[in-house]
């Protein structure tokens, strides 16, 4: 089985599809777009652009940026302002981590079993949040 084993394995352009099951709002949201992971002198910059579809509303455009850094047998993923977000373990078919952002809780499960197709599922809970977001990535 082929698995990502180093930060540079993620470099490139990825198509993405996303489904958000929002239990709080009782809705299913869909998004698609792309992510580009570009090298910098200390890692990769993850830039994402998506079109989000919310039932009964006009389509919305969205962007995200994260900073990815090699961290031994893992990748440290930071928000674009440098704050730590979570860790992604490498060399295994499934990896998980937790991000605590009181009062909310974020749990990620990565799946690399079909590499270079991969996915991440976030389960988010808190007083005003209750959703599951699944994103699948494919090389463009």
- Summarised one tens digit per residue, pLDDT across range 88-103 is 999 999 999 999 999 9
What per-residue confidence (pLDDT) applies to 1? 74
Architecture of domain 7-139: Beta Barrel (2.40)
- Enumerate the domain spans of the chain: 7-139
Q: How many CB atoms lie within 10 A of CB 86?
A: 20
Order of all β-strands in the sheet with 117-125:
84-89, 74-79, 60-71, 43-53, 27-40, 12-22, 130-139, 117-125, 104-114, 94-101
In this predicted structure, the answer to whether residue 127 has a pLDDT above a threshold of 90 is: yes
- Summarised one tens digit per residue, pLDDT across range 17-76 is 999 999 988 999 999 999 999 999 999 999 999 999 999 999 999 999 999 999 999 999
Widest pairwise Cα distance in the chain: 46
């Amino acid at each position: 089985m082929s698995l990502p084993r180093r930060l540079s394995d993620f470099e490139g352009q990825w198509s993405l599809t996303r489904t958000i099951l929002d239990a709080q709002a009782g809705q299913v949201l869909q998004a698609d777009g792309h992510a580009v992971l570009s090298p910098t002198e200390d890692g990769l910059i993850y830039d994402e652009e998506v079109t989000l579809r919310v039932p009964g509303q006009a389509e919305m455009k969205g962007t995200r940026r994260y900073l990815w850094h090699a961290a031994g047998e893992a990748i440290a993923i930071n928000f674009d302002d440098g704050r730590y977000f979570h860790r992604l373990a490498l060399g295994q078919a499934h990896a998980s981590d937790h991000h605590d952002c009181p009062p909310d809780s974020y749990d990620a499960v990565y799946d690399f079993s079909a590499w270079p197709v991969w996915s991440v599922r976030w389960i988010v809970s808190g007083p005003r949040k209750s959703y599951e977001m699944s994103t699948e990535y494919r090389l463009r």
